[in-house]
Chain A
């Protein structure tokens, strides 16, 4: 019972006193992740239908996924859109975050809020708005349209990550660099960027994920040969329940988890 009666922090509270807290926290964490992990055994089922637990194990649905031109093309679209979104949103969001951080102007707060609205407004509203706007602009069912919409969604994340890392950065370093003969642009690239690079990489990974996991906007504005993986999954679920979905979900969970873990490790290195 030594653990039970030992202090849990620099206070008189013991692990025993806190035990109920550990139980509650564990239950909440399980409830959060179980629905995600349940697809993993389901994806290895031999059955025609989604079942849990599976009676017979098989990897046939993975073969279906990797063997299907339709799924492969959708995957390629998702990866392509994700990468372009990342390449557009990361520099734009970084530039915006830097500008708003450096400028002492009164309007910066308002501008910051304005730029992160895609995070606050319900995505379905954005999707509907984008759909009608694209209808006029002829951007529906195009890679360009999808990238633009996903970039708007990713920029807030980039800005928040970059702003957070700039807060712990001494801007006098840039001033010194300028006094030593560097232009503002050089000072940024030689002094500031190398020091916030891990946050920039984190922001880039998050931008990719934002686009790769996004489904609502994709349902509205992507289609035909340019439909994303998530859009295809959604359509497939509506038409027939097929364990291929579970197999794809498992792969997506894997990709997302790996990328998120990478951002965590990178974040820890910058500290």
Chain B
């Protein structure tokens, strides 16, 4: 693929290995925070957005993550100005923008379909927002050249859109969205049309570009791995409400509710019992104390496949681990990892994921084998059974 899709050390014109100016400390002087409060949008009887409150910090990369129909795109379009919420407020910095039309919001936007203008050259596309702002021709040329260099398309300005590969189109759409120096950048599933390898590479490049530009970025995706890879913070959204807003690590390791636990990563939820002493138990074995402050309702244990270790035979639990005895149903090899499905009773199956390393396949758990799964007590994740949503 022309245009340099594969250069290891220098990406988007930024040296990954040695860049003292931008690494770690984003330039936030040009970015704006977004304050969203009580934002509601109804389509018929359906709440696409149900009283959403969200503070997007200046210069951060925030991902709106949710299944299709969750309201994530509606929220993005409301920020861009393409739909008008029924009530609530959106402020860019101190400025209320809810009644501001899109062309006055000064927001860069990248669509899933790229939406490049096929009747213009690459340079024409990137120069379009500058032309609208009455920038003179010489400066347009200079800034377009600079933007092309930033997205590693130097020298391709005169190309037609139909002469570009998918990855190059993506970069042109990106350059067009930031060339006029917007203080907010919005992206609506911009990578979903690319194949897996290129997508994963672009995720890293986008992250680096974000750090370089320092612009407040709101990114929409339904791909949880993409969200975990790229975001400073993730806002998990479901049925028009925010289920949890936090950093990828917290979202993954401390999901606030069943929806987040289920949507992010793989997990099995085991309902727990409460014994007389106030301990949560699973089939009689103690799991832990009820998390303070909320004694009402039941609790569930979230078990992630990579938190389980597998041992042959029957082993009791210890102070450090909780044990689940079961029978191996199937083991699946997936390259760098493999996973086994283990039935711990007639209704409940747990998955355990382990690194394959150089192990011979014969050493994997075999179907029908009796095993014990160990869950370290440090890895216990408890969530309230009733989804507060």
Contacts and interface: CB of A to CB of B under 8 A. Distances in A.
**Mutual binders A and B:** yes
Interface in B161-196: 173, 176-177, 180, 186
B7 interface: no
B103 A181 contact: yes
A180 B180 contact: yes
Nearest to A174: B115
A57 B176 CA distance: 67
A102 to B, nearest CB: 12
Interface string A193-233: 01100000000000000000000000000000000000000
Contact of B111 (A172, A181, A187): A172
B269 interface: no
Interface in A151-187: 170, 172-173, 175-183, 186-187
B270 to A, nearest CB: 44
A179 B108 contact: yes
Nearest to A179: B109
B111 A175 contact: yes
A191 interface: yes
A158 to B, nearest CB: 21
Interface in B72-122: 80-82, 101-103, 105-109, 111, 113, 115-119
Contacts of A172: 111, 113, 115
Nearest to A172: B115
Q: How large is the interface on A (under 10, 10 to 19, 20 to 34, 35 or more residues)?
A: 10 to 19
A178 B113 contact: no
A228 to B, nearest CB: 38
B117 to A, nearest CB: 6
B119 A195 contact: yes
A172 B173 CA distance: 12
Contacts of A175: 80, 82, 102, 109, 111, 115
Given A175-B102, A176-B115, A195-B118, A181 B108 contact: no
Given A181-B103, A183-B103, A195-B118, A176 B132 contact: no
B139 to A, nearest CB: 16
A166 to B, nearest CB: 15
A175 to B, nearest CB: 6
A191 B115 CA distance: 11
27 contacts: A172-B115, A173-B117, A175-B80, A175-B111, A175-B115, A176-B109, A176-B115, A176-B176, A178-B81, A178-B82, A178-B102, A178-B103, A179-B81, A179-B103, A179-B107, A179-B186, A180-B109, A180-B128, A180-B176, A181-B106, A181-B133, A182-B132, A183-B101, A183-B103, A186-B103, A187-B103, A190-B128
Interface of B: 80-82, 101-103, 105-109, 111, 113, 115-119, 128-129, 132-133, 173, 176-177, 180, 186
Given A178-B82, A191-B117, 16 more contacts: A170-B115, A173-B117, A175-B109, A175-B115, A176-B109, A176-B176, A179-B109, A179-B186, A180-B108, A180-B177, A181-B106, A182-B103, A183-B103, A186-B103, A190-B128, A194-B119
